[in-house]
């Protein structure tokens, strides 16, 4: 009997320990959640973050508040979340540039993206659209490549800044085609597109949802899409694969991250709620209408995917000798 009395508290403790993670996830969230965005309001990452936050707020019964902490190509936001309490109440909206390119471009970051940030869910992928000025006679990617080879160093391509996805896509194009197209960085996608329409640069490769309005308005001409299939929104625009460039299948992507050490039941709960949100007809239709594709991945799947993307773009950055001054 005495032995039984000794065992009962221990058994109860073990039971409570086993039940703690489950009850923790069930109780979560008990207060508002902060979703940190590393860019100013109105950009592509911010737009998706706000739409997701609105849907999640309704599902979770707690406000999900977007907090813009712009600066250093998203590094300020990553640093903030990496050092936040690991309780699920501070999350990061991350993208390809932040998670795959920045670790190589900024070797002295005060955090390690692979160790200090835990993937929660991939949200969307967005193909890029290659466009030229509407005034140019160039109508296909093959024609652009031919001109670039005839005039080495005389064509320019614009990007939203050193090291972002539209810069990396242009460098990969040069590597795959053996062309010498000069990179001209701008302070954002909008100035780069303005330069394209003014004829200052002869090529821009940027997010479908970023470039499409200029093409629809007749101010630019789309010549190729980096997705693995044509877009229903622009069925006449061929893919890079169709243009003979299978290595140029590129998707920008966005996902949610938590500080490393966040309890797994909380991460799993958040991931499941994000999957549910992306499957809702309203949010799905809004994202698709903006040229982004809902593309949920679980924490484990997303972690593997990020590793593949880091390896791919690190090779491009090192081969093209891209540096941030």
How would you write the chain as a 3-class SS string? Answer: CHHHHHHHHHHHHHHHHHHHHHHHHHHCCCCCEEEEECCCCCCHHHHHHHHHHHHHHHHHCCCEEEEECCCHHHHHHHHHHHCCCCCCCEEEEEEHHHHHHHHHHCCCCCCCHHHHEEEEEEEEEEEEEEEEECCCCCCCHHHHHHHHHHCCCCCEEEECCCCCHHHHHHHHHHHHHCCCCEEEECCCHHHHHHHHHCCCCCEEEEEHHHHHHHHHCCCEEEEEECCCCCECCECCCCECCCCCCHHHCCEEEEEEEEECCCCHHHHHHHHHHHHHHHHCHHHHHHHHHCCCEEEEECHHHHHHHHHHHHHHHHHHHHHCCCCCC
Same CATH topology for 32-125+252-319 and 127-248: the answer is yes
Q: Where are the domains of the chain?
A: 32-125+252-319, 127-248
CATH topology of domain 32-125+252-319: D-Maltodextrin-Binding Protein; domain 2 (3.40.190)
For 149, other C-beta atoms within 10 Å of its C-beta total 13
Dist CA 219 CA 131 (whole Å): 10
Contacts of 170 (CB under 8 A, 6+ apart): 157, 159, 181, 183, 203, 205
Provide long-range contacts, Cβ within 8 A and 24+ apart, for 300-303.
Answer: 301/122, 302/119, 302/120, 302/121, 302/122, 302/255, 303/119
Q: What whole-number distance in Å separates Cα of residue 74 and Cα of residue 283?
A: 25
List, in order, residues 6 or more apart from 168 with CB less than 8 Å away: 101, 313, 316, 317, 322
pTM of this structure: 0.85
What's the sign of the alpha-carbon dihedral 103, 69, 269, 279? negative
Q: Which residues contact 306 (CB under 8 A, 6 or more apart)?
A: 99, 100, 119
Cα(151)–Cα(70) distance, rounded to whole angstroms?
Answer: 39
Q: In a structure prediction context, what are the per-residue pLDDT tens digits for the chain, which is 325 residues long?
A: 555 455 555 555 555 555 455 555 668 999 999 999 998 887 788 989 999 999 999 999 999 999 999 888 899 999 999 999 999 999 999 999 999 999 999 989 999 999 999 999 999 999 999 999 999 999 999 999 999 999 999 999 999 888 889 999 999 999 999 999 999 998 888 899 999 999 999 999 998 888 999 999 999 999 999 999 999 889 999 999 999 999 999 999 999 999 999 999 999 999 999 999 999 999 999 998 888 899 999 999 999 999 999 999 999 999 999 888 6
Per-residue pLDDT, 4: 47
Specify the CATH superfamily of domain 127-248.
Periplasmic binding protein-like II (3.40.190.10)
Of 258, 259, 261, 280, the closest CA to residue 271 belongs to: 258
Using alpha carbons, list the distances in angstroms from residue 52 to 19, 140, 194, 223, 275.
30, 36, 30, 31, 11
Residues in the chain: 325
């Amino acid at each position: 009997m005495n032995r039984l009395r000794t065992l009962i508290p221990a058994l109860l403790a073990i039971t409570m320990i086993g039940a703690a993670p489950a009850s923790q996830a069930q109780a979560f969230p008990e207060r508002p959640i902060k979703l940190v965005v590393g860019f100013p309001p109105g950009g592509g990452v911010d737009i998706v973050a706000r739409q997701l936050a609105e849907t999640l707020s309704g599902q979770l019964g707690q406000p999900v508040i977007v907090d813009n902490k712009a600066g250093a190509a998203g590094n300020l936001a990553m640093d903030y979340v990496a050092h936040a309490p690991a309780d699920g109440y501070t999350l990061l909206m991350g993208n390809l540039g932040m998670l795959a390119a920045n670790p190589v471009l900024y070797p002295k970051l005060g955090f390690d993206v692979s160790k200090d940030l835990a993937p929660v869910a991939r949200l969307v992928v967005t193909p890029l659209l290659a466009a030229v000025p509407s005034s140019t006679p160039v109508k296909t990617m093959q024609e652009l490549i031919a001109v670039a080879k005839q005039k080495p160093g005389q064509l320019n391509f614009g990007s939203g800044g050193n090291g972002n996805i539209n810069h990396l896509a242009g460098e990969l194009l040069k590597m795959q085609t053996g062309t010498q197209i000069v990179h001209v960085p701008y302070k954002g996608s909008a100035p780069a597109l303005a330069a394209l329409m003014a004829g200052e640069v002869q090529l821009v490769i940027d997010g479908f949802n970023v470039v499409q309005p200029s093409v629809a308005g007749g101010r630019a001409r789309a010549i190729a899409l980096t997705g693995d299939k044509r877009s229903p929104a622009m069925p006449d625009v061929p893919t890079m694969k169709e243009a003979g460039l299978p290595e140029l299948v590129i998707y920008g992507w966005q996902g949610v991250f938590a500080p490393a050490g966040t309890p797994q039941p909380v991460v799993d709960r958040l991931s499941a709620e994000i999957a549910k949100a992306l499957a809702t007809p309203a949010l799905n239709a809004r994202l698709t209408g903006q040229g982004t594709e809902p593309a949920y991945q679980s924490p484990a799947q997303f972690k593997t995917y990020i590793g593949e993307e880091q390896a791919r773009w690190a090779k491009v950055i090192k081969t093209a000798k891209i540096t941030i001054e």
